[in-house]
Structure formats: structure tokens, C-alpha cells
Amino acid sequence: TQLLEQSPQFLSIQEGENLTVYCNSSSVFSSLQWYRQEPGEGPVLLVTVVTGGEVKKLKRLTFQFGDARKDSSLHITAAQPGDTGLYLCAGEEPRGQNFVFGPGTRLSVLP
């Protein structure tokens, strides 16, 4: 059983469309991170959210941490082919006893 669930597992959209991917858990996390990974490379950190209800924006990407600190979402506006990749959420359990990754959402943005 995954501590962190991500949905959808796969997503294929046209350039210019908007999309939202989700990261959910039944556990509370002290922080959640979002990474993007491209083939043959390591994950690259996009953002860390710490406070329940927190919203962070990174250009066309908007990240939200749920009020109860159990879930998070990533919204991309006007997706571009360069957004293609594997989007991973990762969480640190309270008191730092564990750090886990979700299985990821594989996004493909078609030109």
C-alpha cells in the first residue's frame, strides 16, 4: 500500500490545455514536495509546501497543500511540450521519521 497516492497515473494533453494532478494520503505530513523527472535524469525539486492551505506559484505552475496537510495538488496553466515528464510528490512524516515518494503522474504534452 502506497503511503502517497497520485492521480492520474498517466495524462496526455494538447499544448495550451490546463491540467491538475493530485497527491493524496491518509497520513499527515509536515511538508510535501513536488519534483519533475525527465528520462535518464534525477528528479528536480519544484517546490516545498509546509503550511496547511498554503498556495505557491512558480510561473505557470500552482501548488496547493491541503488544510489538513494530507494532500496536495499541482495545476499547470497553458501546458507546453517542455512540461512533459514524471511529476512526483514526496512527503516528510512528522518528526522526520520517514520520507516517501508517490508513484508519480506521467505527463505528456503534445505540440
Task: Indicate which single residue of 5, 13, 22, 101 sits in contact with another protein (rule: CB under 8 A).
Answer: 101
Using a 10 angstrom Cβ sphere, with 0-12 exposed, 13-18 middle and 19 or more buried, the burial of residue 93 is: middle
Torsion of CA 19, 74, 109, 60, to 10 degrees: 90
| Shortest Å, Cβ 17 to another protein | 26
Contact mark string toward another protein, 51..90, x via CB under 8 A: -------------------------------------x-x
41 touching another protein, by CB under 8 A? yes
43 touching another protein, by CB under 8 A? yes
> In what helix (H) or strand (E) does residue 45 lie, and over which residues does it extend?
strand 44-49
